[in-house]
Structure 1
Amino acid sequence: MRRSIPLTAAALGITLALAACSGSADPADTETSAAAEATASGTLTMWVDDTRINEMEPVVAAFTEETGVEVELVQKASGDIGKDFVAQVPTGEGPDIIVSAHDGLGEWVNNGVVAPIELGDKAADFSDSAIAGVTYDGKIYGTPISIENIALVRNNALLTETTAATFDELVAQAKGTGTPFSVLIQQGEASDPYHLYPLQTSFGAPVFEQSADGSYTDTLALGGPAGDAFAAYLAKLGTDKVLDLNVDGEKAKQAFLDGQAPYMITGPWNTSAFAEAGMDISVLPVPSAGGQPAQPFVGVQGVFISAKSENPVLANELVVNYLSTEAAQDMLFAEGGRMPANAASAAKVEDPILKGFNDAGSTGAPMPAIPAMSTVWAFWGATEAQIISGQAEPASAWNTMVTNIQDAVDKV
């Protein structure tokens, strides 16, 4: 049953502000209790992409049923949400809330279009990587709702167990099956730094340094002796034909479907095709190549509030106090099948494939959301391609890449 709405948004905002200033209770608890007792009039507009709008519909319907606050869902192309958010919020035409991947956060903050939020104790309900993904310059800007990352996928028809402690041992074990490929890692003409990142981090060469709170700085960390060692390893993988620039994403996927490799490093976006083909697969962490943990990039899908929302209190009630809850994230999982960011909700997921990805990404690194990241990809991929193909001396090419990236970062 919908509750009546006796207060205006402004009145509720004043109530919350006075309660927070009293010092008699935790602000998050006060805000929740105030919102539970009274809801404000108004409608929220939320932008959602076409892959999430169906799963979000019943969730916001439940929110409306509980609070009386209407939420208008507007479908946008995923590639348009971030840029349209930046363009429209300053004009007053943008949404109250967006659902988006976290990697545009730095641009949104720099353009003043996204508002920080106070998760308070609720932050402890999420993994460190999920919170780091929605954190920028020490402030939290969104509620994480799902996470995804790459991992090692095994074809159980070719191998029934993985005993390798290192990536080299994994390659040797895979070659013992006699398949055309050992471990498929999609490449393409410009290589693929994203899919190679677990191997790179295992050498202690992450792309940027992170602060104590998990947010990224614009200080490069992929150079030095660790970077040189990874570059030499890339050259080795190219010489050994583990990596092949001719094998792009589609070719890698098809080769795995055809049983041409016992292993593939990929994400959950491909495993549905494997399941539909009747394959028996397992999902495992990527073994270390350089002696340190192999950390894949973790993508965090979050819900963010516009800095110019006409109903900031109501937006906060939906984003902070409702979508952060175990119940809401249970519902999102039931509708969309994506691994919840809420730890208690994720712990209830029984699908062994999703659990495997979650375990592999539990110590992963959130994709950097800082503007400097946009300068990295072209130099990074081109250099890796040169090293893998044997066209460049590894350490020299890698050090030149670091210099070029630093020059580009300094201009951001």
Structure 2
Amino acid sequence: KIWHALNPEEEAVFKEIAALYMQSRPNVQVVFENKAPDLQTAVLAAISTGEKFDLFIWAHDWIGLMVEAGVLKSVDNDVADVLPKFAASIPQYKGRVYGLPFTAETVALICNKKMVTEPPKTFADLTKIMQQYHKPPQSYGIAYIVNPYFVSAWIHGAGGYYFDDKTEKQGLTDPRSIAGFEFFKKNIMPYVGPNPTDYNTQVSLFLSGQTPCMVNGPWSIGAVKKAGIDFFVAPLPPVDSTYTPKPYGGLKMFYTTIYASKEAIDFMKWFTTDPQAAKILVQKLGYVPVIKDVEIQDPVVQGFYEAIKNFYLMPVSPKMQPVWGAVDIVIQNAIVSDQKTITQAVQDAAKDLCARGLC
């Protein structure tokens, strides 16, 4: 029994892959149950009422919360034999594994081929492109959603961090984090179009041909294709040999509950590492694979596959939650406006986090 909140298109493909598995194992029944729109509440409620299910599917950043709530069991020994097959790092909480991923997401550079013929190799190349097309209000240098998730690439690339999952401490006041915020403000922010914090505004600027490129994830590709844009996807380009942008990334995964049977764990291992299953997910859903041995024909998926090699896994500790809000305030006060300097903004934001024991 697998609980999920997949969309109908995804659910159909998952069932198709499960059917392949069951063909050769007639005694195994794989059942998917849709618990949208609030999977988290359903999972937590089931644990208190004793309703049993083996696995559930969600992004990896629930691990800390779910372990602390007594929902999950670790499967380190059960999955040790398949771990070498993965190209992406496997999410862990306090050194233990609680499930396996089947796809990754992060942001990359998506460019309109009419304006940009080939991926910029360096940040200097990207700067030239942004300068060339920045002619407000007709056009802008780049479509960029200025929020903590999207901006994280430049903080991590500079060697900084919002939050350290191991120590469970904030890193906003680290000089390298400040340098990352400064870099973004000085070198990207001047070229971003109006309403920088609004997702839909930024995407529509790109879709209407008013920016040469946008920074976005695989979830946005459907809209780009629908708009009939000829485009490519490439990793965010390095600033120099020591500064490669490392955006936050997420993994979608199977979580193993305290009730997970051996059959369910075997199915999870097969689904996440079988090259044929990975190929179906790439072809039918455009999922970015996380295993090493996979053929990718689709250049869009290939672009994101290259981007996940530089990604920074989103924290799994439940203590990360207030940090998102703190970074948001830094962005509001010091990046999209000049109410404070960046140093002042991060120091103010850190005060609140320190009061919560995160310093």
Q: Same fold (TM over 0.5)?
A: yes
Aligned match of 1:224: 174
Residue 338 of structure 1: how far off its partner (Å): 0.9
Q: SS where residue 342 of structure 1 aligns?
A: coil
Which residue of the partner structure matches residue 112 of structure 2?
Answer: 155
User: Which of the two has higher C-alpha Rg?
Assistant: 1
Equivalent residues of 1:372, 1:409 under 8 A apart: no
Q: What are structure 1's unaligned runs of at least 5 residues?
A: 1-44, 211-215
SS state at 2:24 partner? helix
Match of 2:164 in 1: 209
Aligned with residue 59 of structure 1, among 14, 17, 29: 17
Compute the displacement of 1:125 (Å).
0.6
Taking a change above 3 Å as real, the CA distance of residues 163 and 333 of structure 1, as seen in their structure-2 partners, is: closer
CA drift of 1:94 comes to 4.1
Instruction: Quote the Cα distance in structure 2 between the aligned partners of 1:102 and 1:53.
Output: 19
1:46 paired with 2:5, answer: no
Structure-2 residue corresponding to 1:75: 34
> After superposition, what is the alpha-carbon deviation per residue over 1:341-386, rounded to whole angstroms, capped at 9, x for unaligned?
22212xx011001100110121211111110111111111121111
Number of the residue aligned with 1:374? 321
Q: Which residue of 1 aligns with 2:151?
A: 196
1:242 is matched with which residue?
192
Is 2:84 the counterpart of 1:120?
A: no
Alpha-carbon spacing, 1:409–1:146, altered in 2? closer, same or farther (3 Å): farther
- 1:102 Cα deviation from its structure 2 partner: 0.7
| Shift of residue 234, structure 1, vs aligned partner | 4.3
- SS at 1:205 equivalent: coil
CA contact (8 A) 1:89 1:95 kept: no
With normalisation by structure 2, the TM-score equals: 0.89
Distance in 2 between the 1:148 and 1:238 partners?
22
Q: Residue 262 of structure 2 aligns with which residue? A: 313
Is 360-369 or 402-411 further displaced after alignment? 402-411
1:240-265, Cα deviation, whole Å (9 max, x unpaired): 35365455111111110111111110
Moved more, 53-62 or 144-153: 53-62
CA distance in 2, matches of 1:387, 1:313: 52
Q: Deviations over 1:271-291 (max 9, x none)?
A: 222122221111111124585
1:408 and 2:356 are equivalent in the alignment? yes
TM-score (norm: length of structure 1):
0.78
Task: Tell me the equivalent position of 1:186.
Answer: 145
Unaligned runs of 5+ in 2: none
What does residue 393 of structure 1 align with? 341
Change in Cα spacing, 1:201 to 1:239, as seen in structure 2 (3 Å) is closer
1:315 deviation in Å?
1.6
Q: Residue 273 of structure 2 aligns with which residue?
A: 324
Q: Which amino acid aligns with 1:46?
A: I
More deviation, 380-389/219-228: 219-228
Which residue does the alignment assign to 1:99?
57
The residue aligned with 2:202 is: 252
Q: Letter of the aligned partner of 1:280 in structure 2?
A: D
Task: Give the 3 Å change call, closer, same or farther, for CA 226–323 of structure 1 in structure 2.
Answer: closer
Instruction: Please name the residue that 1:22 is paired with.
Output: none
Matches of 1:323 and 1:169 in 2, distance apart?
37
Structure 2 match to 1:270: 220
Distance 2:122 2:187 in 1: 17
